[in-house]
Amino acid sequence: MLCWSGSVRRKQKPGHFPVYLNVYDLTPMNAYGYWLGLGVFHSGVEVHGVEYAFGAHEYPSTGIFEVEPKKCPGFTFRKSILVGKTDKCARDVRVYMEKLAEEYRGNKYNLISRNCNHFCNEVCVKLTQKPIPRWVNRLARLGVLCNCVLPPRLNESKVRRVVKEELSEGEKKKKK
């Protein structure tokens, strides 16, 4: 019988908490274009039971908001994609969102260069080191929609802007 006293290092997958990209249809035309790899999509990042997204408005305050996962008002939910996992606890994610809130102003939203999908990609890369699937933001990269589709305004009664020191619904549930 052989004994080996050395330790075996197993490659451990990083992260414990799943990070999802929730994808929504912006138009009913996506039913036709989706299968061709085309479509106009909104997206949000779900982590710790909260979905974060970015939207346009005319004020110089944050455009980042949170909603109940898979229920972003004004959009039709299409699918949820597991992007990866993160080691960041709910509080660390919240602090990160508050930091991004300073950068992602609602009046700086741009359909081609700074939209909800760009925001989600930045968040997913930070939390999981993985980008969102390329098809989600394909039309923005092509620049096809620059003058013909405007993003819907945020429905203030159904979303909450991310601001410092405000607990999310997911964080409140976890504290109870």
Instruction: Quote the CA–CA distance of 165 and 163 in Å, as a whole number.
Output: 7
| Count of Cβ atoms closer than 10 Å to residue 146 Cβ | 13
Whether the Cβ atoms of residue 78 and residue 23 lie closer than 8 Å to each other:
yes
- Alpha-carbon separation of residue 88 from 38, 75, 102, 114 (angstroms): 33, 28, 20, 25
- Alpha-carbon separation of residue 94 from 55, 58, 64, 146, 170 (angstroms): 18, 24, 12, 32, 11
Q: Annotated active-site positions, please?
A: 42, 116
Instruction: Quote the CA–CA distance of 150 and 145 in Å, as a whole number.
Output: 9
